[in-house]
Amino acid sequence: MIFDTNEVGGLRGSAVSNITQKVLGEAPTSCHDAAVAGPVQQRCEWADSSDAMRAYHDHEWGVPSHDDTHLFEMLILEGAQAGLSWSTILAKRENYRRSFAGFDPARVARFDEATIAALLQDPGIVRNRLKVRAAVTNAQAFLTVRDEFGTFSKYLWDWVDGTPVVDRPGTTADLPTHTDLSDRISKDLKRRGFTFVGPTIVYSFLQAVGVVNDHLVTCPMA
């Protein structure tokens, strides 16, 4: 997920947004109490900008996913987000589910020109021709990967030997926009025919599906 400057206070430029941190539990009343209690737990900075963002943070972001339908969904949504805020995409998520056949890659792969034209008239999704076509192209590439590996999940998780990368960043400012891992996966996905899978989009995808766990060290979800 990429955050815009309206979502985590400019802590990481265009990658974060302006929101209020929610502190969980009671704060220590003295320096001595603080020393005994340890660090105050608080959600990642972006999580409390809305109920939808909080639910996504608490129950989905960073949770390892091995379900191919969910992986395809997040691949499509992360690509749709390019240049937009994640809150915008979350608000349109159910519309995407309806318009993109429940994120069934086999059905999306068969979308024809008439279906694409109809999608471009749908106000419930991001009506960008390149992004809509990318969803169809990526569905076709997704199926090819699944044919080769058995599941897309196996292809994806083989990159980390089945074990999530846990970073425990101290602040949102410590989060990278891409890594060597996302660079390598991006390059391989492009080689396999995927589009809208640059290193930054791929890194957001890895965070979303739990291949990378980037919850802050103070976050109760870490």
Residues with a known catalytic role? 56, 78, 86
**Residues sharing a CB contact under 8 Å with residue 222, sequence separation 6 or more, in sequence order:** 168, 213, 215, 216
E strands, the chain, where?
165-166, 212-213
List of long-range contacts for 36-41, beta carbons under 8 Å, 24+ apart: 39/217, 39/218, 40/218, 41/218, 41/219, 41/220
User: Can you tell me the distance from the alpha carbon of 142 to that of 153, in angstroms, rounded to the nearest whole number?
Assistant: 10
Q: Amino acid letter at 79? A: G
Half-sphere exposure of residue 154: CA atoms within 13 angstroms, side-chain side: 8
Of 179, 200, 198, the C-alpha closest to 187 is 198
Q: Which two tokens stand for residue 73?
A: 């969904």
Integer-rounded Cα Rg, in Å, for the chain is: 18
The packing angle between helices 199-208 and 180-191, to 10°, is 110
**Phi, psi for 127 (deg, rounded to 5):** -90, 65
